[in-house]
């Protein structure tokens, strides 16, 4: 009996081990199988489906013909590129959906250092870095990094191209900032030359949850209470913090608002809807935007978003703290995109929107995640377990209450002011040029002040590495 029991126990352990091995060693999906997921997702949801002949519903006679077509591609990425419209500048395919899901929740592997690289004025083969802002409480913040700092060295090495040729838009600087830890060597600039100070700051990356409500301030200027909000991303997990900022503005009796979206690449459409209500509040039930889909999907999915006095898409969320404003000042740059531009578009039919800064990106399309699962939902819970590929295709476009859409060239500011690394100022404080310009209009109408209009082209921005850079997302619950 003991021998039988021992044999049974050994058999149970063996079978359990086999199950574990099967779970840990799932059969990898073939490149063609993953390419077929790409095809099915784009055929069903792509906003620009009509531009790609192969996506037409009757293009292939049968599944075998479709698979034969897809088998020619060397990778799913190659199939994705071939099946994406030339009008589509923002759809992405990634091989690990975990990173995208984390980004949606505001979780990044990051130091919290937001930086840009510019070409040195007198040396086209070398770049220098400037700190745009630092995430509050991040490793970079604790290490002493501050807005406006200039650096010319990373781990003691100058920021030069690998071949010593003049730097252009194709020059790759990823290797400088890829390590989990690196140092930046600070420098000063006297208008002609950079001088290394010898001071270094150790930059360390970690898993960071980023609160996009970066700077909230109320400035009392000339008898006016002016609210200032530097908002870095439309991350709906922090909608309560955003609403709390507006409670602070209401309590302070704010009569004008400066909304700083200069480094905001977008995010949740629902959050953009709620933020627009926080600024106003008097348009409950009026159309904010309409979401339009491709010809096959639009009849059953077209969705009119309306100003709603409660957080979220329903009427049972927390009450929104609204200011009831009839004008708003929005600060923008060439890094303002997507949901940031939705604020400009969605509010324009209702209140005066005064845009200050430089031209925005021109992204009016929205996306949601598609996993390798059955249509129409392509949901995570039904995803093929044999790979982790995920798509974030353009599936909808936004149309404001006046019918405005297709703003491929972005929004042109009412007052053109370009950031100048020699005179950055501090966000939310007097002396920062874009904020000063807004305050000048509040106090004096429009002055004859001369502003910097020379745009210093960035050749690398740290947020380019973000999986959701310049994306506008819609929650699938709205479908």
Q: What is the pLDDT of residue 174?
A: 87
Identify whether residues 176 and 238 lie together within a single domain: no
Tokens of 322: 């609204």
- What token pair was written down for 411? 């929004």
Three-class DSSP category at 164: coil
Same-domain status, 364 and 236: yes
CA distances from 281 to 161, 313, 477 (A): 51, 15, 24
Comparing CA positions, the residue from 375, 324, 388 lying closest to residue 40 is 375
What's the sign of the alpha-carbon dihedral 409, 410, 414, 420? negative
Split into its structural domains, the chain has a count of 3
359 and 472 together in one domain: yes
pLDDT in tens, 267-278: 899 999 999 999
Query: Any bridge partners for residue 268, and if so which?
Result: 473
Contact 70, 36 (CB under 8 A): yes
Model confidence at 465, pLDDT cuts 50, 70, 90, reads low
More confident residue, 478 or 294: 294
List pLDDT tens digits, range 339-356: 999 999 999 999 999 999
Mean of pLDDT values over 218-237:
95
Contact criterion met (CB below 8 Å) for 145 and 462: no
Same domain, 282 and 364: yes
Query: What pLDDT score does 21 carry?
Result: 42
pLDDT reported for residue 161: 80
Average pLDDT over residues 203-216: 95
Residue 324 belongs to some domain of the structure = yes
**Averaged pLDDT, 11-38:** 65
Element (H, E) at 43: helix 31-45
Q: pLDDT: is 367 or 6 the higher one?
A: 367
Q: Is the pLDDT of residue 364 over 90?
A: yes
Q: What is the model's pLDDT at position 470?
A: 59
**Chain-wide mean pLDDT for the chain?**
90
Cβ atoms of residues 143 and 204 within 8 Å: yes
Burial class (CB in 10 A: 0-12, 13-18, 19+), 88: middle
Residue 98 within any structural domain of the chain? no
Instruction: Tell me what percent of the residues of the chain surpass a pLDDT of 70.
Output: 90
Q: Which domain holds residue 36?
A: 31-88
Q: 10 lies in a domain?
A: no
What number of H helices and E strands is found in the chain?
12, 24
CATH code of the domain in which 152 resides: 2.30.42.10
Do 266 and 327 lie in a common domain?
yes
Q: Render pLDDT for 1-13 as a digit per residue (tens, 0 to 9).
A: 434 333 333 333 3
26 lies in a domain? no
State mean pLDDT over 37-42: 98
Please give the pLDDT value at position 89. Answer: 92
More confident residue, 1 or 323: 323
Cα–Cα distance for residue pair 396/302, rounded to 1 Å? 9
Q: Tell me: the pLDDT tens digits for 118-129?
A: 999 989 999 999
Is 127:173 a contact under the CB 8 Å cutoff? yes
CATH number at residue 350: 3.90.226.10
Residue 283 and residue 349 in one domain = yes
Half-sphere exposure of 98 (CA within 13 A, CB side): 4
| Average pLDDT estimate for 220-226 | 95
**Last residue within a domain, chosen from 187, 209, 231:** 209
Give the up-direction half-sphere exposure of residue 60: CA atoms within 13 A in the CB hemisphere.
Answer: 15
57 and 193 fall within a common domain = no
DSSP string covering 167-196:
P-TT---HHHH-SSEEEEEEEEE-SS-EEE
pLDDT category at 109 given cuts 50, 70, 90 is: confident
Contact by Cβ (8 Å): 391, 91: yes
By mean pLDDT, which of 69-78, 124-133, 230-239, 444-453 is the weakest? 444-453
Q: Residue 172's pLDDT band (boundaries 50, 70, 90)?
A: confident
Residue 361 CA to residue 349 CA, distance in Å, equals 21
Q: How far apart are CA 246 and CA 96, in angstroms?
A: 37
**Residue 158 and residue 217 in one domain:** no
pLDDT of res. 25: 54
Using pLDDT thresholds of 50, 70 and 90, give the confidence band for residue 19. very low
420 and 342 in a common domain: yes
Same domain, 129 and 191: yes
Q: Residue 24: name the closest of 36, 35, 16, 34 by CA.
A: 16
Decide if 431 is inside a domain: yes
pTM of the model: 0.90
Is a pLDDT exceeding 90 seen at residue 302?
Answer: yes
Token pair recorded at residue 238: 């922090």
Mean pLDDT of 384-413: 96
Q: Which residue has the higher pLDDT, 454 or 7?
A: 454
Q: How many whole angstroms separate alpha carbon 18 and alpha carbon 15?
A: 5
Residues 67 and 200 in one domain: no
- pLDDT score of 433 more than 60: yes
Residues forming a β-bridge with 118: 128
Residue 320 CA to its chain's centroid (Å):
24
Residue 93 pLDDT exceeds 80: yes
Calculate mean pLDDT across residues 209-227: 96
Strand 157-160 and strand 213-221: pairing? unpaired
Which of 165, 190, 209 delimits the end of a domain? Answer: 209
Q: Which parts of 328-462 fold into alpha helices (H)?
A: 339-347, 433-444
Q: What is the mean pLDDT of residues 57-79?
A: 97
Residue 93 lies in a domain: no
Flag whether 73 is in a domain. yes
pLDDT at 445: 87
Residues 378, 444 within the same domain: yes
* Any domain includes 102: no
Last residue of a domain, one of 23, 57, 88: 88
pLDDT at 22 exceeding the cut of 60? no
pLDDT tier at 108, thresholds 50, 70, 90: confident
């Amino acid at each position: 009996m003991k021998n039988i029991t021992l044999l049974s126990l050994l058999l149970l352990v063996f079978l359990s081990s086999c199950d574990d091995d099967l779970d840990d060693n799932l059969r990898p999906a073939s490149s063609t199988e993953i390419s077929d997921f790409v095809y099915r997702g784009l055929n069903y949801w792509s906003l620009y489906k009509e531009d790609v002949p192969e996506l037409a519903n009757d293009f292939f006679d049968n599944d075998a013909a479709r698979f034969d077509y897809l088998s020619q591609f060397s990778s799913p990425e190659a199939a994705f590129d071939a099946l994406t419209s030339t009008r589509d500048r923002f759809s992405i395919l990634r091989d690990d959906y975990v990173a995208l899901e984390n980004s949606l929740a505001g979780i990044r592997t990051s130091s919290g250092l937001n930086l840009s690289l510019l070409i040195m004025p007198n040396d086209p083969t070398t770049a220098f870095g400037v700190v745009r802002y630092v995430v509050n409480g991040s490793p970079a913040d604790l290490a002493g990094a501050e807005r406006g700092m200039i650096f010319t060295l990373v781990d003691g090495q100058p920021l030069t191209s690998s071949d010593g040729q003049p730097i252009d838009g194709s020059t790759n600087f990823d290797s400088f900032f890829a390590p989990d830890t690196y140092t930046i060597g600070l420098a000063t600039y006297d208008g002609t030359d950079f001088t290394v100070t010898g001071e270094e700051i150790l930059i360390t990356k970690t898993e960071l949850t980023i609160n996009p409500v970066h700077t909230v301030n109320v400035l009392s200027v000339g008898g006016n209470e002016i609210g200032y909000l530097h908002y870095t991303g439309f991350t709906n997990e922090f909608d309560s913090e955003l609403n709390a900022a507006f409670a602070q503005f209401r309590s302070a009796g704010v009569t004008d608002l400066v909304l700083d979206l200069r480094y905001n690449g977008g995010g949740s459409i629902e959050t953009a809807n709620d933020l627009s209500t926080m600024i106003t509040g008097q348009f409950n039930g009026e159309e904010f935007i309409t979401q339009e889909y491709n010809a096959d999907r639009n009849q059953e999915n077209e969705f009119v978003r309306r100003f709603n006095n409660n957080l979220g898409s329903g009427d049972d969320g927390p009450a929104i703290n609204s200011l009831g404003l009839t004008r708003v000042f929005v600060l923008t740059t060439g890094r303002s995109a997507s949901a940031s531009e939705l604020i400009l578009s969605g509010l324009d039919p209702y209140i005066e929107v005064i845009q200050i800064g430089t031209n925005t990106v021109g992204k009016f399309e929205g996306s949601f995640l598609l996993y390798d699962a059955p249509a129409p939902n392509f949901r995570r819970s039904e995803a093929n377990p044999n790979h982790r590929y995920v798509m974030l295709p353009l599936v909808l476009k936004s149309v404001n209450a006046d019918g405005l859409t297709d703003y491929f060239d972005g929004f042109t500011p009412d007052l053109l002011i370009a950031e100048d690394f020699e005179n950055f100022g501090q966000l939310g404080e007097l002396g920062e040029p874009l904020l000063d310009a807004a305050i000048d209009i509040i106090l004096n109408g429009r002055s004859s002040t001369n502003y910097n209009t020379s745009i210093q082209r960035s050749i690398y921005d740290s947020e380019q590495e973000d999986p959701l850079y310049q994306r506008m997302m819609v929650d699938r619950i709205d479908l």
